[in-house]
Amino acid sequence: MDSLGAECTPLKHKYDACFTKWYSEKFINGERSNDCAAVFKEYQACIRKVLVDRGLTKMIDDARPTIGSVFAASADDRHADADASAKK
């Protein structure tokens, strides 16, 4: 499956492969390492940029109380959204 933004798809595939390998070789054998953290952070940063560029972070933040999300938006996301809107 491709990512939300085409530019993030290679990172998504890299993370998916890392996670699958980690889960099947380590996690199910009791190891709780964090082998894929670095690639996940890269992928997450890419997705955040796509969300900001598409002006979607405000909509997501507005939906959080309704869906009961425990993940708060970061100040960086809110500022990036405002910056992207100002450039249009």
Given a cut of 50, is residue 3 above it in pLDDT? yes
Residues 60 and 31 in one domain: no
Q: Which pLDDT does position 83 carry in this prediction?
A: 56
Q: Which amino acid is at 59?
A: M
Whole-number Cα distances in Å, 80 to 13, 52, 68: 26, 6, 24
Q: Residues for the chain: how many in total? A: 88
**Structure tokens, 10:** 């290679």
Digit-coded pLDDT (tens) for 27-42: 999 999 989 999 999 9
Structural domains of the chain, count: 2
Q: Which pLDDT does position 66 carry in this prediction?
A: 86
Domain that holds residue 85: 55-88
Digit-coded pLDDT (tens) for 41-76: 999 999 999 999 999 998 888 888 888 776 666 555
Q: What is the dihedral of CA 26, 28, 31, 36, to 10 degrees?
A: 50
Residues 4 and 41 in one domain: yes
Residues 59 and 40 in one domain: no
Residues 5 and 41 in one domain: yes
More confidently predicted of 49 and 84: 49
